[in-house]
Amino acid sequence: MARKVLVLGEVRDGSLRNVSFEAVAAGKTASEGGEVVGVLIGDSVSALASEMIHYGADRVVTVEDEKLKQYTPDGFSQALMAVIDSESPDGLIFGHTAMGKDLAPKIAAKLESGLISDVTSLEEAGGNLVFTRPIYSGKAFEKKIVTDGLLFATIRPNNIAPLEKDESRSGDVASVAAEIKDLRTIIKEVVRKASEGVDLSEAKVIIAGGRGVKSEEGFEPLKELASVLNGAVGASRGACDADYCDYSLQIGQTGKVVTPDLYIACGISGAIQHLAGMSNSKVIVAINKDPEANIFKVADYGIVGDLFEVVPLLTEEFKKLKVNA
Amino acid sequence: MNIYVLMKRTFDTEEKITISGGKINEDGAEFIINPYDEYAIEEAIQVRDANGGEVTVVSVGTEEAEKQLRTALAMGADKAVLINTEDDVENGDQFTTAKILSEFLKDKDADLIIAGNVAIDGGSGQVGPRVAEILGISYVTTITKLDINGSSATVVRDVEGDSEVIETSLPLLVTAQQGLNEPRYPSLPGIMKAKKKPLDELELDDLDLDEDDVEAKTKTIEIYMPPKKEAGKVLEGELEDQVKELVKLLHTEAKVV
């Protein structure tokens, strides 16, 4: 069934986040030969429209307003509802990001629709569009379908491959007028403390530390390795509970669930609650002094040794690799 | 202050998950208060202690959730309400739960509603914001700090590691992120007192809802386990050689760097 699917692009620091292109690819699958319409909301976003088209959107609709400079649920839902009213879509796809998680349920409640969150893949099967998503933080998976109304899903970053970029593609870019008013939540200040640039949920490489890092300073060698690999630093609950790092870095069933290409676990024993957050990473490396540590059971490669010896050596070795490449 | 907490009973985080007959096997499993809802309960108690008022903890589920509701009462909540859907709802989704909760809450004049930002089982994080929208009140998700001053509130929201300082006003729904507080353990006197605190049980009928009103919009057609991961290769030899080999394997075999 050909559908019209709206895909919400997400802008950060003036550029589109990667998950926007993954969402376009998901939208393409969901559209089943219909139309994929990119939606961009912000104070000045129309310059980014062509990139959504290069990645597979057929056309783009923008809503621009000074009050949309920062995301707020009221502002963005007013903008999006204006687009939904004018486009009458059959489907909606957002990224399962801080913004998507916050906004999608509000839109679903307004439309009295279902919403399938945190989707890792979707496919047409037996006349249905089937969405796969992790449950119990990835300890199991479920396949879901929409039984009534709009197809609405948020997709987890890093799981659905974007379509190949084609700069020769072109499409219509139009703006929709929306009255943005009565914002009930006002952002007074944004304190940036996220791991220098690379976000955990979108990182291709994650270097994570556990109790074995022993202190806040103990994270330094991990940070150096992360910077060489352009990755992000994460942590186990043990490390967070011991105050070696901020809770925002926690990976696990409580904390973030991540699926990078490469996960290097340093001094992490591998409690079930931690494994739930990272065991679906593509390649896992474990570094631990204890050869019996649980983490080795899920690791593709393991080194039994002291992380304070191994990690700096790894950093040097990766530096050499980069020079030679 | 009239404070409500939305609570879910979930599997313990240390439980292994198995499937039997196409469903998650619950036999012998330990159940707990969803960890993020524990932060919500703790925050509600602290807000009440500072501002006065009453904390009511609400759960949609089966009568088994009574145990977790009693725990919430033992922590210090004043009242608990179980909306028992065992006989009426077989396969609900987030639309279902949000509809039931908002129907219950609509005439309660809540000043503050606190929920966990996500349940560790289903993991969708939809119910809080959906309830706020249906009730027509504003919300802030994944909060790490809440300051209430009369009818206004200053909230710190975790946004993928960054923090937003947000000003808003009551009535308000917030969802708790880790780091919001340190949930207390129920004390022995708390446990004794909890036995005498009110725990009401309602069904859909009591909320003037029919099964049709809350019928799910989505359906689970299959539950399965991820392919079991084989234990990989533990390297051997001198540490420096191991490191060299690892980098080579990651580059040429796994091709991730």
Q: What is the ipTM of this complex?
A: 0.94
Tell whether the model's pLDDT for residue B150 goes beyond 60: yes
The residue of chain A with its CA nearest to that of B131 is A109
B254 and B175, same domain (yes or no)? no
Domain of residue B256 covers 227-257
Q: Give CA angle at B132 (B126, B137), nearest 5°.
A: 155
Cα A240 to Cα A16: distance, rounded to the nearest angstrom: 31
Q: Percent of chain B beyond pLDDT 70?
A: 100
B252 and B130, same domain (yes or no)? no
Cα B37 to Cα B56: distance, rounded to the nearest angstrom: 13
Determine the residue among A300, A309, A311 to mutate to test chain B binding: the one whose Cβ has the most chain B Cβ atoms within 10 Å: A300
Cα B177 to Cα B143: distance, rounded to the nearest angstrom: 5
Residue B221 belongs to a domain: no
Q: Is B215 on the interface with A (CB under 8 A)?
A: yes
Residue A143 belongs to a domain: yes
Comparing CA positions, the residue from B102, B34, B254, B69 lying closest to residue A282 is B254
Cα B66 to Cα B80: distance, rounded to the nearest angstrom: 9
- Choosing from A175, A192, A225, the residue where a domain stops is A175
pLDDT value of residue A23: 98
Task: Give every CB contact of residue B187 below 8 A, 6+ residues apart in sequence.
Answer: B74
A123 and A15, same domain (yes or no)? yes
Cα B53 to Cα B3: distance, rounded to the nearest angstrom: 7
- What SS3 state is found at A174? strand
Cα A113 to Cα B95: distance, rounded to the nearest angstrom: 7
pLDDT band for B7, please (50, 70, 90 cuts): very high
pLDDT value of residue A197: 57
Contact call for residues B172 and B140 (beta carbons, < 8 A): yes
CATH of the domain at B97: 3.40.50.620
Cα A77 to Cα B117: distance, rounded to the nearest angstrom: 19
Residue B71: CB atoms within 10 A of its CB come to: 23
A14 and A159, same domain (yes or no)? yes
Bridge partners (DSSP) of residue B199 are B80
Taken as a whole, chain B contains a residue count of 257
A151 and A266, same domain (yes or no)? no
Contact call for residues A22 and A161 (beta carbons, < 8 A): yes
B233 and B139, same domain (yes or no)? no
B117 and B148, same domain (yes or no)? yes
CATH of the domain at A149: 3.40.50.620
CATH of the domain at A258: 3.40.50.1220
Q: How many domains does chain B have?
A: 2
**For residue A249, which residues of chain B lie inside 8 Å, CB to CB?**
161
Domain of residue A264 covers 205-324
**Overall pTM > 0.80:** yes
Residue A320 belongs to a domain: yes
- Mean pLDDT throughout B196-213? 97
Comparing CA positions, the residue from A101, A62, A67 lying closest to residue A80 is A62
Task: Give every CB contact of residue B230 below 8 A, 6+ residues apart in sequence.
Answer: none
Whether A305 and B160 lie within 8 Å, measured CB to CB: no
- Those of residues 61-90 in B touching chain A at CB distance below 8 A are none
Residue A182 belongs to a domain: no
Q: How many domains does chain A have?
A: 2
Cα A139 to Cα A132: distance, rounded to the nearest angstrom: 13
**For residue B168, which residues of chain A lie inside 8 Å, CB to CB?**
184-186
Angle between helices B127-135 and A98-111 (to 10 degrees): 50
Residue A197 belongs to a domain: no
pLDDT digits over A30-61, tens only?
999 999 999 999 999 999 999 999 999 999 99
Q: Which of B120, B178, B221 sits opposite A247 (nearest CB)?
A: B178
Tell whether the model's pLDDT for residue B208 goes beyond 60: yes
B139 and B66, same domain (yes or no)? yes
Site of tokens 């945190």: A118
B182 and B256, same domain (yes or no)? no
φ/ψ (deg, to 5) at B183: -60, 140
Comparing CA positions, the residue from B180, B189, B241, B243 lying closest to residue B37 is B180
Residue B222 belongs to a domain: no
Identity (one letter) of the amino acid at B193?
K
HSE-CB for B114 with a 13 A CA cutoff: 30
Q: Is B103 on the interface with A (CB under 8 A)?
A: no
- Choosing from A125, A155, A175, the residue where a domain stops is A175
A211 and A157, same domain (yes or no)? no
B186 or A200: which leads in pLDDT: B186
pLDDT band for B85, please (50, 70, 90 cuts): very high
B186 and B240, same domain (yes or no)? no
Whole-angstrom CA distances from A75 to A13, A139, A186, A187, B125 are 18, 36, 10, 12, 20
B42 and B132, same domain (yes or no)? yes
Mean pLDDT for all residues in chain B: 95
Residue A316 belongs to a domain: yes
pLDDT value of residue A195: 52
Residue B247 belongs to a domain: yes
The residue of chain A with its CA nearest to that of B214 is A112
Comparing CA positions, the residue from A283, A276, A259 lying closest to residue A19 is A259
Residue A194 belongs to a domain: no
pLDDT value of residue A196: 56
Contacts 24+ apart (CB under 8 A), B28-35: B31/B64, B31/B67, B31/B68, B32/B68, B33/B7, B33/B8, B33/B9, B33/B68, B33/B71, B33/B72, B34/B7, B34/B8, B34/B9, B34/B10, B34/B116, B34/B119, B34/B120, B34/B121, B35/A254, B35/B116, B35/B120, B35/B178
Q: What is the pLDDT along chain A (325 residues), one digit of tens a residue?
A: 899 999 999 999 899 999 999 999 999 999 999 999 999 999 999 999 999 999 999 999 999 999 999 999 999 999 999 999 999 999 999 999 999 999 999 999 999 999 999 999 999 998 899 999 999 988 899 999 999 999 999 999 999 999 999 999 999 999 999 999 999 999 999 998 755 557 888 899 999 999 999 999 999 999 999 999 999 999 999 999 999 998 889 999 888 889 999 999 999 999 998 999 999 899 999 999 999 999 999 999 999 999 999 999 999 999 999 888 7
Q: Is B226 on the interface with A (CB under 8 A)?
A: yes
